Amino acid sequence: MSKQKERDEALFRIIVFMVSGVITYIWAYLSYVLIFINWLVSLISGKRNPELAEFIEYWTTQVYKFWRYISGVTNERPFPFTNLERISFFKK
């Protein structure tokens, strides 16, 4: 990649950090709440809820993709700059 393209991509990461960062921040805290709920369900019922666990994993993966892009590990842009990948939980 040319120096100019690398520079442009680095500048675009600032925009991505601001936009996706807000979304990621909210997702992370919602994941914490859902993790706690899943833990309570497991404690009360004696078994975990696999659908809820898969849903939580989906959102934590999106947070992971955000940090990989922002840190420069990959040039694959996170949501909302790319489509969310559908996983089996959401397929009908």
How much is the pLDDT for 37?
93
Q: Does a cis peptide bond (omega within 30 degrees of 0) precede residue 80?
A: yes
- Residue 85's pLDDT is what? 63
Q: Where are the alpha helices (DSSP H) in 46-92?
A: 50-70
Kindly report the length of the chain: 92
Q: What pLDDT sits at residue 9?
A: 81
- The burial class, CB within 10 Å (0-12 / 13-18 / 19+), for 44 is exposed
pTM of the model: 0.68
Domain boundaries defined on the chain: 3-90
The answer to whether the CB of 73 falls within 8 A of the CB of 28 is no
Q: What are the pLDDT tens digits along the chain (92 aa)?
A: 678 888 888 888 888 888 888 888 888 888 899 999 999 999 999 988 888 888 888 888 888 888 888 888 888 877 777 666 654 444 44
